[in-house]
Amino acid sequence: MADKNIKSKYSPTVKELLTLIGGKENIQGAAHCATRLRIVLNDNSLADTKAIGELDYVKGSFVAGDQLQIIFGAGTVNDVYAVFVEEAGIQGMSLGDVKQQSAQKQNAFQRGIKALSDVFVEIIPGLLAAALLMGVTGLLSQQGIFGPESIVEMYPGIEGFNRFISIMSTGIFTILPLLVVYSATKRFGGNPVLGLVLGAIMLHPDLANAYLVGNGTVDPEVISVFGLRVSLVAFQGGIIIALMMGLVVAKLDRYFSRKVPDIIKLFLAPFLTILVSGFLLFTVVGPFGRLLADGITAGLMWSVDNLGIVGFMLFAGIQQVVVITGLHHVIGAVEAQLIADTGSNFIMPLMSVALMGQGGAVLGYTLAMWKNKKARQIGVSAFGSTLFGISEPALFGVNVKYKFPLIMGMIGGASGGAYVYLTGINALGFGATAVPGFAIVAAQGSGHLHYVIANALALAIGAVLTAAYLKVKKPIMD
């Protein structure tokens, strides 16, 4: 039950909200994430998103993933949710429940994209922790950040601490395929423990290391399985393969659980699942997955070599438009594969400047509309979120709503993308952008300094163009 003071503060807004979404009877369920109240409605057409966006404490509203998503901001959304559940007379659902409910109303393509997103959402906290640890050891040990000597060289007493951090930072990446199989198996409805088993097989120490085979220093053992020649090579860095195997394990687990008689199901169904999926791993999925992963990496590197600055500007210009569609979640899989294959990630700084371009646009809007209390409230909060890598409040609260800030932000992002190309900024990990992303930037070539400049450039151009447009055109702002 909501606290009395919280209820008195947010109850008027919640009651208006219930009216604007078509009443309590139009609600299937509700949950919240870090910044947004997420509601699954029976009929989305009954929701007046424009009027909802004008409510007190609301910073924007939109329908995405077949959910009505209302931005309240971190902290506030928790209190609003507590009042909303009580006023609506519904039982609170977990965020996973709401996602599952809304997925039933999506088409096959949307469900596929969402599934890929869910796989990586499950393990992103661990990846982000590892990436930030990697950033810390990079700041401590790389030369050229704070002077000709690294911090460890200047202060030898912290060498042991840096070594300790270095080991912790790389741990998750050595077993990343295992974690991806686990998460994918769980997401696709299989027993995640069987995903762990298959992941352990992928990284078995008796298999030849994939990286050593790739550089020609090790020749793998080749065996015959029912007449098929199988190379016993492990799958270090096989992120795409791990995703595919998670789906295979889940489908086989569900199939054998249905078909095997109950009296022998406990041991025979898992046995058959691992046996068949392991065979498919080495004979079909693994070889195909390697070709697919190599193709993705080769395509990205081709774009760098052939499209050059134009390709970087195009990606940074439109990346936040992709965020609006929800398709951006699959980029995490590409980044993971890129790091596994090349050891660095040029996509992250492009995503960061794309985000900061939109942040600059909302900053320009906020400064130009400073006398408008509602605009100031939404703009300040939205801009603050972009500094920590969250662009949805800026996008849906301001930029998409008024369109021209979105375009100015795209120009800012493209400008930052050009700077990223010219200075060769790279990242050591993924999952963090904007201010947190500073920790995972590679230090080579004054990478940290150029990262700050690139983001500041994107922000400044987005802000100046938006403010100038407002001053010159004086559009009607509702």
Q: Which residues are catalytic?
A: 33
Structure tokens at 63: 């329908």
The residues pairing with 29 across neighbouring beta strands, listed in sequence order, are 40
Alpha-carbon distances of 236 from 173, 185, 255, 336, rounded to whole Å: 9, 18, 28, 12
CB 239 within 8 A of CB 116: no
Backbone phi, then psi, for 406, in 5-degree steps? -60, -45
Strand 36-41 to 67-71 pairing: antiparallel
Structure tokens at 181: 């199989």
* Inter-residue long-range contacts of 272-276, CB under 8 Å, 24+ positions, other chains counted: 273/190, 273/191, 273/194, 273/249, 274/194, 274/197, 274/198, 274/201, 276/252
Q: How far is CA 81 from the centre of its chain?
A: 24
- How deeply is 60 buried, as exposed, middle or buried, from its count of CB atoms within 10 A (0-12, 13-18, 19+)? buried
CB atoms within 10 A of CB 251: 16
Alpha-carbon distances of 74 from 3, 32, 71, 182, 360, rounded to whole Å: 18, 10, 9, 30, 21
Question: Residues with Cβ < 8 Å from 291, sequence gap 6 or more?
Answer: none
Output b/e per residue, 350-374; b: 16+ Cβ within 10 A. Answer: bbbbbbbbbbbbbbbbbebbeeeee
